Amino acid sequence: MTFLSATLDRVKPSPTIAVTTKAAELKAAGRDVIGLGAGEPDFDTPQNIKDAAVAAIAAGKTKYTAVDGIPELKEAICAKFSRDNDLPYEPSQVTVGTGGKQVLYNAFMATLNAGDEVIIPAPYWVSYPDMVLLAGGTPVTVEASLEANFKITAAQLEAAITPQTKWFLFNSPSNPTGAGYSWSELKELTDVLLRHPHVWIMTDDMYEHLAYGNFKFCTPAQVEPQLYDRTLTVNGVSKAYAMTGWRIGYAAGPERLIKAMRKVQSQSTSNPCSVSQHAAVEALNGTQDFLAPNNTLFERRRDLVVSMLNKAPGIVCPQPEGAFYVYPSIAGCIGKTSAAGTVIDNDEVFATALLEETGVAVVFGAAFGLSPNFRVSYATSDAALKEACERIIMFCEGLT
Ligand SMILES: Cc1ncc(COP(=O)(O)O)c(C=O)c1O
């Protein structure tokens, strides 16, 4: 009998955390490292949100709460869905968890049986396939190429659906590519889903508010209201409100599913942090004024990074619609040799050589299911981004 669970053999530790750890080690050893790996905004949580948390502590809101969220927060979430997404939900259709990550995990744990398939467009957020595996399901990836602007087509979705498909997992704007589906692009996918009533839709709208230029965010149940009864709309306060450490995510969907997710949470973590829940009420109900200036800042950084990376020989960097990531291709660097003598066989070797030779930390594409690429998070200062891009250009210019 082995001590560790066999299920654990099927999953890998998060590669994004591995990169962050390696970069931190080099920094601790005195190296000049610029980290472009982190998936969180570089600015502080807005003051009104912090004040709400302090007030909650002062008022003694420090005890267990209802397992999947206090009534005030569920009301605030319903108001948010109505205001931003034209989606009508009752509090009984809402669940709150310890980050969007727990909410997604609860949904898989509550629904997946052996043999159930989950369609995941690639490149994907690193946790999706491993969460599906941990919950006993089978991830089925569908490749969204750079040429297709990292978006899958209706024909690809149609071809991936089998009688075993339980969920289609949708994420727009996307981590790691930043790609956002327009209303008409999403409608093409929802038209396919209408024809397959056994398939449920899990949409991860975590980057909803990080949308730039003319791009307008939309979500599946809004685009196709006939899918409302089989859609779980997942969102959270982590990214838009710079609240990654507070750990609050939420979802809304059919009551039967929400109840099942609550059951999973009741036997694992119970309620998310009481103080964070009160802070999240303020995030959703309070002023949204800081969202627009933050987006202006991020959009400028995106444009800076895209224009600089496209100057690096061998790199092609498309301009995405949202989030704070770009996902350039390094197809033109494969097979070349770095200044220090490393043969760039694949994107993992590229990222390791880049870190060791220039001190720039990025996450290699294989981690996200589409190679040869790497992910840059531009949620860092303009100065750090400029310096990092200059080093990447120099690294690529040194390839022979
Ligand atoms: C696409 C996507 N979904 C969900 C999450 C998880 O968010 P949270 O920090 O709220 O758990 C992340 C975080 O990186 C993400 O990128």
Digit-coded pLDDT (tens) for 374-397: 999 999 999 999 999 999 999 999
| 46 cis-preceded (ω within 30 degrees of 0) | no
d(CA 351, CA 363): 7
Confirm whether 114 is domain-assigned: yes
| Residues 216, 178 within the same domain | yes
| Residues 231, 315 within the same domain | no
Full residue range of the structural domain in which residue 195 is found: 63-285
| Residues 157, 273 within the same domain | yes
**How many angstroms separate the alpha carbon of residue 360 from the centre of ligand 1?**
23
| Residues 268, 185 within the same domain | yes
d(CA 163, CA 176): 29
- Name the CA radius of gyration of the chain, rounded: 21
| Residues 90, 218 within the same domain | yes
For the chain, the 3-state helix, strand and coil shares in percent, each to the nearest 5, are 45, 15, 40
Could you tell me if the CB of 222 is within 6 A of ligand 1?
no
Tokens of 136: 């006993």
Confirm whether 58 is domain-assigned: no
Nearest protein Cα to ligand 1, atom 16: 175
Give me the number of domains the chain comprises: 2
| Residues 295, 260 within the same domain | no
The tens place of each residue's pLDDT in the chain, 400 residues long, gives 889 888 888 887 777 777 778 888 898 999 999 999 888 898 999 999 999 999 999 999 999 999 999 999 999 999 999 999 999 999 999 999 999 999 999 999 999 999 999 999 999 999 999 999 999 999 999 999 999 999 999 999 999 999 999 999 999 999 999 999 999 999 999 999 999 999 999 999 999 999 999 999 999 999 999 999 999 999 999 999 999 999 999 999 999 999 999 999 999 999 999 999 999 999 999 999 999 999 999 999 999 999 999 999 999 999 999 999 999 999 999 999 999 999 999 999 999 999 999 999 999 999 999 999 999 999 999 999 999 999 999 999 999 9
Q: Global pTM?
A: 0.96
Could you tell me if the CB of 239 is within 6 A of ligand 1?
no
**How many angstroms separate the alpha carbon of residue 333 from the centre of ligand 1?**
30
Could you tell me if the CB of 238 is within 6 A of ligand 1?
yes
Could you tell me if the CB of 204 is within 6 A of ligand 1?
yes
Q: Which residue among 125, 248, 277 is best mutated to probe the pocket of ligand 1, counting the most ligand atoms within 8 A of its Cβ? A: 125
Between the CA atoms of 149, 226, 250 and 36, what dihedral angle is there, to the nearest 10 degrees?
0
**How many angstroms separate the alpha carbon of residue 206 from the centre of ligand 1?**
6
